[in-house]
């Protein structure tokens, strides 16, 4: 299964994403943001980093990169599209996922492992997981604070679009376990069709025990298996 | 022709910079402060003769790139 | 009466005379500007160069030693590591965020100039006490500057260390160490090769930032009007640097460059002259071709500009097109600014006119060299005689809690969690341990790094203090699972024109050089930062060591502070003391006292202890260096991180709090063979329960210790 891992100027997690996807048996290719043809891709990942320096707003400039029209076309056609951290920010800016990401509540960058609870398995990111499962995955962001207005939040909840919520190690969700102030502790979401997903934590940083956790595997394995289930 | 674009967080959307600064002002004794709101000022220079047309173009820029309508409002104003 | 131009540029009359002798005429304005910056303390090391030859670097595994952009060592199987340390002290005081940020940017360029991909950064930091609001502002600004630049440029920050002391209030120290990895065939030179090759400036446009910054900021001391120096601070753009890194790495991969040199202090002057003179060539430089941020810049401003994120590539004519295409792909600014020539002249043109013509090598090779007078401080014997006034008894639980509440001893994750320390999927032991450990993916190799400084001990006895630093740093990498392999040092001192400061410097260099030789570790690079004084007050001498450790194979399950379990035994490995309290955390925090003389290290014992730690590392769950705060703090850290209490043997309080050098704690399952030969060992107790108990009579709850330790920095940073 071929995965296009998009490289924007300022992306920095693309090689890590490739490493993790290879470990899980996928065949990732780095695709520069100026490309306009993704026809061979069974899936697309927008990796973490600081595309275009995060200038103006995080993700705001990247969403107009030449490759994004093709990403949008694939998303509409049902291809699995995953945004991790900065990639999640770009997907919200592009309107492929609801909401937006703003500065963390404490106005400090946060790099540490946090816990998330799986809220829905109806997506390319969580299809192999179980609702209620708690995963320990590194968070690494300054603008990781998910916001959206109350009516949009209601709509998102109604269609079961929240995939992951920040929690404590036993799965309790609350202010104490919300690292960055995200609305409703939301850490990851999906679109209505379930083929576009985004999350702030970095599952590719949690695929080997020697690095502290392999809890990210189930998420990336979901993505890889969804490519087989959903023909490009 | 120069336009000032002011982008502000929409009411009800989290504004951590604003909230933190309001708290700091309260701590400094400005108990009357009930809100601080952060935005961004952008000056756009355009080479268009007609002001109405230029204003419309800049507004379009706001819709597409300069503001994120999901969380932000904006105003456009001609400046010297 | 107006000052002559050379004095305004910080040059002495004698130095000016030397320029006239070299050129055999009066220098033109642009020429004078170039000499003034290149001969500044910061660029020329004129006060220290003569002494740094004490450091030995000719070991078989050293590929490039001091004097290059970075030291390079051989890791076997075609792998090389490039490492360097730098200071950004003065800029960080003037503007903490940008000063620290551009420090990160600068050192990364030194690393990828060698052909290496920068893979990690460490930041040793020193500030005044956090009780002062301005120190908090500097501390918080520096940490966010490092995070803001390092995270965005995509190079993880794997740690560092921090010290808080009064003498750093006026003069914080911001050092930064970087490590890069490359394969043998990727190593590039800065030496320009052939006449006709083209000099191409890559990266940001050249603006007025940091004009003369190298000489002004790094070579003069601070006084009350330092606010007016603000315009000289450069502004960093991590996005530009990230593109520049990727563009350069692509240029190396495709073999398109003959040579490359980064632009740092003294900008174009320095890069063009160093590149030409390293290759024994000359260069013609056309300033009209330089891509500028402001069009009305003078020749001097263009030559001196310290605009960040720029590189000078030397390219064979046939490859110019391809280089321009790579620059365009990565959206990196580019201009062809010069041509390599035969001979040794650096000639600079503007508006078709020659405005400078000087022997390229004279800017570096003919720089002045000072043998500054040194004098042992008159009050040194008095200071040594003033040993800490120790009480007969102490309340150990109270003392431990006070120590854990100290911001230099408590939890430092307030700092390290602002840094991306996980990028590249290489971090096996993260910040918060004695050293950090990173794997080289696709190999069995691992690298450990520890940065260490101890300014109070170095103030009391610079020679002993410096030696102890080297040994401590070696032990830190050993308990992390690697053998000491190479050292870089950053020597932060006060005003070298004062004989007492020069004495501190010489003692330090001698001490470090001796200890490195005993350990058989090369010094592959270093940095000297002088004039760290404000209003006549010099900082404590603050040599900082960056120790690289190497392991092949890397331990699969290296020691960690959080691997202690109920029932495991606690051992002290290394000599016991009980009376080394000079500059200890106990004396500083509890007695507010600085005096006495630190113990010396027996080099034979040190070698044995370091070697033993490295041998144990693959098989022991917890190894922890005993340093600031002594055994009590070291054991408490293991308890807190592992979430288990400890019951310690009855022992004199002095044994728990003194800081005798070169010892570590091992926590092992019962029955583990510690295989001790000639290294002393002592049983200390067992892990278990929810209290840290000192013998039968006193103890402190683990949860209270944990809370105090965690809050040490955060509670000081609110408000």
- Residue C426 CA to residue C118 CA, distance in Å, equals 13
- Residue C17 CA to residue C152 CA, distance in Å, equals 46
Q: Which among A85, A93, A115, A221 is annotated as catalytic? A: A85
- Residue C356 CA to residue C269 CA, distance in Å, equals 11
List beta partners, residue A6.
A31
pLDDT tens readout for residues C359-377 = 999 988 889 999 999 999 9
- Is residue C452 pLDDT above 90, yes or no? yes
pLDDT score recorded for residue C226: 44
User: Which chain C residues have any C-beta within 8 angstroms of a chain A C-beta?
Assistant: 144, 147-148, 151-154, 237-240, 242-243, 246, 329-331, 413, 416-425, 427-428, 430, 439, 441, 556
pLDDT score recorded for residue C719: 55
- Residue C490 CA to residue A154 CA, distance in Å, equals 56
- Tokens standing for residue C287: 């300033």
Confidence of residue B30 (pLDDT cuts 50, 70, 90): very high
pLDDT tens readout for residues C152-164 = 999 999 999 999 9
- Minimal C-alpha gap between A60 and chain B (Å): 7
Task: Give A100's contacts in chain B (Cβ within 8 Å).
Answer: 13, 68, 70-71
- Residue C196 CA to residue C373 CA, distance in Å, equals 47
- Residue B15 CA to residue A72 CA, distance in Å, equals 29
- Minimal C-alpha gap between B34 and chain A (Å): 18
CA separation (Å) from C361 to C199, C279, C349, C358, C610? 17, 10, 18, 9, 43
Task: Give A106's contacts in chain B (Cβ within 8 Å).
Answer: 16, 20
3-state helix, strand, coil in chain A (%, to 5): 30, 25, 45
Report the run of H or E that residue C696 belongs to, with start and end: none
pLDDT score recorded for residue C211: 63
> Count of domains in chain A?
1
Comparing C8-22, C199-213, C656-670, the range with the smallest average pLDDT is C199-213
Mean pLDDT of B21-45: 89
Q: Which domain holds residue A84?
A: 2-229
Q: What is the DSSP string of C348-388?
A: EEETTEEEEEEEGGGGTTT-----------TTHHHHHH---
By the CB < 8 Å criterion, does B75 face chain A?
Answer: no
pLDDT score recorded for residue C451: 98
pLDDT score recorded for residue C219: 47
- Tokens standing for residue C584: 């200890």
- Is residue C228 pLDDT above 50, yes or no? no
CA dihedral (C188, C425, C97, C161) positive or negative: negative
Do the Cβ atoms of A231 and A7 come closer than 8 Å?
Answer: no
Which residue's structure tokens are 């982008």?
Answer: B7
CA dihedral (A82, A84, A90, A96) positive or negative: positive
Beta-carbon count within 10 A of B38 CB: 16
pLDDT tens readout for residues C183-195 = 999 998 888 789 9
For residue C701, the number of C-alpha atoms closer than 13 Å in the C-beta half-sphere is: 4
pLDDT tens readout for residues C596-607 = 999 999 999 999
- Residue C716 CA to residue C143 CA, distance in Å, equals 15
Task: Give B9's contacts in chain A (Cβ within 8 Å).
Answer: 102
The answer to whether the CB atoms of A9 and C331 lie below 8 A apart is yes
pLDDT score recorded for residue A230: 61
pLDDT score recorded for residue C1: 52
- Is residue C530 pLDDT above 70, yes or no? yes
Q: What is the DSSP string of B15-56?
A: -HHHHHHHHHHHHTT-TT------EEEEEEE---S-HHHHHH
CA separation (Å) from B28 to A106, C131, C716? 19, 17, 17
> Count of domains in chain B?
1
Three-state DSSP class for residue C322: helix
- Residue C5 CA to residue B51 CA, distance in Å, equals 52
The pairing of beta strand B2-9 with beta strand B39-45 = antiparallel
Nearest one of C205, C206, C193 to C315, comparing CA atoms:
C193
- Is residue C231 pLDDT above 50, yes or no? no
Which chains pack against B, by 3+ Cβ pairs within 8 A? A
Task: Measure CA of the first residue to CA of the last residue in chain A; give whole Å.
Answer: 10
Q: Quick one: residue C407, left, alpha or beta (phi over 0 = left, psi -120 to 50 = alpha)?
A: alpha
- Residue C210 CA to residue A113 CA, distance in Å, equals 39
Mean pLDDT of A20-42: 95
pLDDT score recorded for residue C113: 94
CATH code of the domain containing B37: 3.30.1280.10
Task: Give A205's contacts in chain C (Cβ within 8 Å).
Answer: 422, 425
- Is residue C5 pLDDT above 80, yes or no? yes
Q: Which residues, at least 6 apart from A194, have a Cβ–Cβ distance to it below 8 Å? A: A122, A123, A124
List beta partners, residue C534.
C222, C537
- Residue C72 CA to residue C78 CA, distance in Å, equals 12
CATH code of the domain containing A107: 3.40.50.880
Do the Cβ atoms of C88 and C100 come closer than 8 Å?
Answer: yes
The answer to whether the CB atoms of B70 and A104 lie below 8 A apart is no
- Is residue A229 pLDDT above 80, yes or no? no
Confidence of residue C229 (pLDDT cuts 50, 70, 90): very low
Using a cut of 0.90, tell me whether the model's pTM lies above it. yes
pLDDT tens readout for residues A77-103 = 999 999 999 999 999 999 999 999 999
Q: Which among A33, A52, A115, A202 is annotated as catalytic? A: A202
Beta-carbon count within 10 A of A154 CB: 11
Residue to mutate among A146, A147, A150, with most B CBs inside 10 A, is A147
Q: Which residues, at least 6 apart from A11, have a Cβ–Cβ distance to it below 8 Å? A: A47, A48, A49, A50, A51, A86
Beta-carbon count within 10 A of C115 CB: 25
Option in A61, A92, A107 nearest B17 (CB): A107
Mean pLDDT of A123-131: 97
List beta partners, residue C181.
C81, C117
pLDDT score recorded for residue C232: 60
pLDDT score recorded for residue A204: 98
Q: Which residues, at least 6 apart from C115, have a Cβ–Cβ distance to it below 8 Å? A: C182, C186, C187, C188, C252
Do the Cβ atoms of C221 and C15 come closer than 8 Å?
Answer: no
- Residue C542 CA to residue C171 CA, distance in Å, equals 12
Task: Measure CA of the first residue to CA of the last residue in chain C; give whole Å.
Answer: 50
Give yes or no for a cis peptide into C553 (omega within 30° of 0).
yes
Task: Give A9's contacts in chain C (Cβ within 8 Å).
Answer: 239, 242-243, 246, 330-331
Do the Cβ atoms of A143 and A104 come closer than 8 Å?
Answer: yes
- Residue B27 CA to residue A173 CA, distance in Å, equals 30
Q: Please indicate whether residue C42 is annotated as part of the active site.
A: yes
Option in A98, A100, A106 nearest B68 (CB): A100
Q: Which domain holds residue B31?
A: 2-79
- Minimal C-alpha gap between B51 and chain A (Å): 25
Mean pLDDT taken over chain C? 92
pLDDT tens readout for residues C632-681 = 999 999 999 999 999 999 999 999 999 999 999 999 999 888 877 788 99
- Is residue C222 pLDDT above 50, yes or no? no
- Tokens standing for residue C630: 């002594």
Do the Cβ atoms of A202 and A83 come closer than 8 Å?
Answer: no
- Is residue A167 pLDDT above 90, yes or no? yes
Three-state DSSP class for residue C187: coil
Confidence of residue C214 (pLDDT cuts 50, 70, 90): very low
pLDDT tens readout for residues C464-508 = 999 999 999 999 999 999 999 999 999 999 999 999 999 999 999
Q: Please indicate whether residue A93 is annotated as part of the active site.
A: no
The pairing of beta strand C646-648 with beta strand C523-529 = unpaired
- Residue C540 CA to residue C285 CA, distance in Å, equals 43
The answer to whether the CB atoms of C243 and A110 lie below 8 A apart is no
Confidence of residue A231 (pLDDT cuts 50, 70, 90): low
The answer to whether the CB atoms of B16 and A57 lie below 8 A apart is no
pLDDT tens readout for residues C400-433 = 999 999 999 999 999 999 999 999 999 999 999 9
pLDDT score recorded for residue C548: 98
pLDDT tens readout for residues C261-317 = 999 878 898 899 989 998 999 999 999 999 998 888 888 889 888 888 999 999 999
Mean pLDDT of A111-138: 97
List beta partners, residue A97.
none
List beta partners, residue B39.
B8
- Residue C11 CA to residue C36 CA, distance in Å, equals 6
């Amino acid at each position: 299964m071929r995965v296009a891992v998009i490289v924007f100027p300022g992306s920095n997690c693309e090689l890590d994403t490739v490493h993790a996807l290879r470990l899980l048996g996928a065949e990732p290719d780095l695709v520069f943001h100026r490309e306009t043809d993704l026809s061979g891709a069974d899936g697309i990942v927008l990796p973490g980093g600081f595309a275009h320096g995060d200038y103006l707003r995080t993700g705001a400039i990247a969403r107009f990169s030449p490759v994004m029209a093709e990403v949008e076309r694939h998303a509409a056609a049902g291809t699995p599209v995953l945004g991790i951290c900065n990639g999640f920010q770009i997907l919200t800016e592009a309107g492929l996922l609801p909401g937006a990401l703003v500065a963390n509540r404490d106005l400090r960058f946060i790099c540490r492992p946090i816990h998330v609870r799986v809220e829905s398995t109806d997506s390319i990111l969580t299809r192999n997981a179980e609702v209620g499962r708690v995963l320990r995955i590194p968070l690494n962001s300054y603008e990781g604070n998910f916001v959206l207005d109350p009516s949009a939040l209601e709509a998102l909840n109604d269609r079961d679009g929240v995939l992951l919520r920040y929690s404590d190690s036993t799965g309790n969700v609350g202010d104490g376990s919300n690292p960055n102030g995200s609305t409703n502790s939301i850490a990851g979401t999906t679109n209505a069709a379930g083929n576009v997903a985004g999350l702030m934590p970095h599952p590719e940083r949690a695929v080997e025990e020697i690095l502290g956790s392999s809890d990210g595997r189930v998420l990336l394995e979901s993505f890889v298996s969804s490519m087989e289930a959903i023909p490009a | 022709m120069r336009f000032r674009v002011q982008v502000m967080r929409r009411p009800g959307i989290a504004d951590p910079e604003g909230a933190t600064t309001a708290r700091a002002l309260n701590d400094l004794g400005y108990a009357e402060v009930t809100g601080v709101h952060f935005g961004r000022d952008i000056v756009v220079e355009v080479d268009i003769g007609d002001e109405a047309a230029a204003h419309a173009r800049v507004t379009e820029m706001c819709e597409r790139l300069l503001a994120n309508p999901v969380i932000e409002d904006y105003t456009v104003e001609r400046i010297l | 009466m107006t000052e002559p131009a050379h004095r305004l540029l910080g040059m002495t009359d004698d130095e000016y005379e030397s320029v006239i002798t070299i050129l055999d005429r009066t220098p033109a304005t642009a020429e004078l500007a170039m000499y003034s910056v290149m001969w500044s303390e910061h660029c020329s090391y004129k006060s220290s160069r003569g002494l740094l030859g004490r450091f030995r670097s000719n070991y078989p595994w050293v590929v490039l030693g001091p004097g290059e952009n970075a030291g390079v060592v051989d890791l076997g199987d075609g792998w090389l590591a490039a490492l360097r340390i730098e200071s950004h002290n003065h800029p960080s005081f003037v503007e903490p965020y940008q000063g620290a940020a551009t420090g990160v940017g600068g050192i990364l360029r030194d690393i990828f100039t060698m052909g290496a991909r920068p893979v990690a950064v460490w930041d040793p930091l020193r500030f005044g006490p956090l009780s002062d609001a301005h120190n908090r502002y500097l501390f918080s600004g520096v940490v966010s500057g490092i995070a803001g630049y390092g995270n965005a440029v995509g190079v993880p920050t794997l740690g560092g260390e921090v010290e808080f002391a009064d003498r750093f209030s006026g003069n914080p120290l911001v050092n930064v160490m970087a490590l890069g990895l490359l394969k043998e065939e990727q190593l590039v030179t800065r030496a320009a090769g052939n006449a006709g090759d083209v000099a191409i400036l890559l990266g940001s446009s050249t603006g007025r930032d940091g004009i003369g910054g190298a000489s002004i900021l790094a070579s003069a001391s601070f006084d009350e009007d330092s606010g007016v120096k603000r315009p000289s601070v450069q502004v960093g753009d991590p996005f530009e640097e990230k593109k520049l890194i990727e563009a350069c790495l692509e240029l190396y991969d495709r073999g398109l460059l003959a040579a490359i040199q980064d632009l740092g202090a003294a900008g174009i002057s320095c890069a063009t002259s160093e590149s030409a003179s390293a290759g024994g060539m000359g260069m013609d430089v056309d300033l009209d071709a330089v891509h500028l941020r402001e069009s009305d810049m003078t020749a001097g401003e263009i030559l001196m500009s310290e605009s960040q994120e720029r590189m000078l590539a030397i390219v064979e004519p046939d490859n110019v097109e391809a280089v321009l295409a790579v620059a365009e792909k990565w959206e990196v600014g580019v201009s062809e600014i010069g041509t390599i020539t035969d001979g040794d002249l650096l000639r600079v043109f503007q508006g078709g006119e020659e405005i400078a013509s000087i022997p390229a090598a004279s800017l570096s090779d003919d720089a002045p060299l000072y043998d500054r007078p040194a004098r042992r401080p008159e009050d040194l014997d008095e200071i040594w005689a003033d040993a800490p006034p120790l009480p007969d008894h102490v309340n150990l639980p109270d003392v431990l809690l006070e120590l854990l509440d100290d911001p230099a001893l408590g939890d430092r994750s307030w700092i390290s969690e602002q840094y991306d320390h996980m990028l590249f999927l290489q971090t096996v032991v993260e910040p918060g341990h004695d050293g950090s450990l990173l794997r080289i993916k696709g190999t069995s190799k691992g690298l450990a790094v520890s940065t260490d400084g101890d300014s109070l001990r170095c103030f009391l006895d610079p020679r002993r203090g410096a030696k102890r630093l080297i040994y401590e740093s070696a032990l830190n990498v050993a308990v992390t699972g690697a053998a000491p392999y190479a050292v870089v040092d950053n020597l932060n001192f006060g005003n070298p024109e004062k004989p007492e400061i020069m004495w501190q410097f010489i003692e330090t260099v001698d001490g470090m050089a001796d200890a490195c030789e005993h350990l058989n570790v090369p010094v592959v690079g270093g940095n000297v930062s002088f004039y760290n004084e404000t209003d006549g007050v010099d900082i404590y001498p603050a040599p900082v060591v960056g120790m690289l450790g190497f392991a092949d194979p890397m331990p699969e399950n290296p020691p960690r502070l959080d691997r202690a379990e109920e029932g495991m035994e606690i051992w002290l490995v290394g000599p016991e003391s009980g009376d080394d309290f000079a500059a200890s955390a106990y004396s500083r925090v509890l007695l507010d006292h600085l005096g006495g003389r630190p113990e010396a290290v027996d080099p034979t014992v040190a070698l044995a202890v370091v070697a033993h730690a490295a041998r144990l590392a693959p098989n022991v769950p917890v190894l922890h260096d005993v340093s600031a705060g002594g055994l009590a703090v070291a054991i408490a850290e293991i308890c807190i991180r592992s979430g288990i209490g400890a019951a310690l043997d009855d022992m004199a309080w002095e044994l728990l709090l003194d800081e005798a050098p070169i010892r570590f704690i091992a926590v092992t399952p019962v029955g583990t063979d510690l295989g001790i030969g000639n290294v002393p060992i002592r049983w200390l107790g067992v892990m278990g329960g929810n209290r840290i108990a000192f013998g039968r009579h006193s103890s402190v709850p683990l949860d209270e210790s944990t809370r105090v330790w965690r809050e040490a920095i955060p509670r000081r940073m609110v408000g």
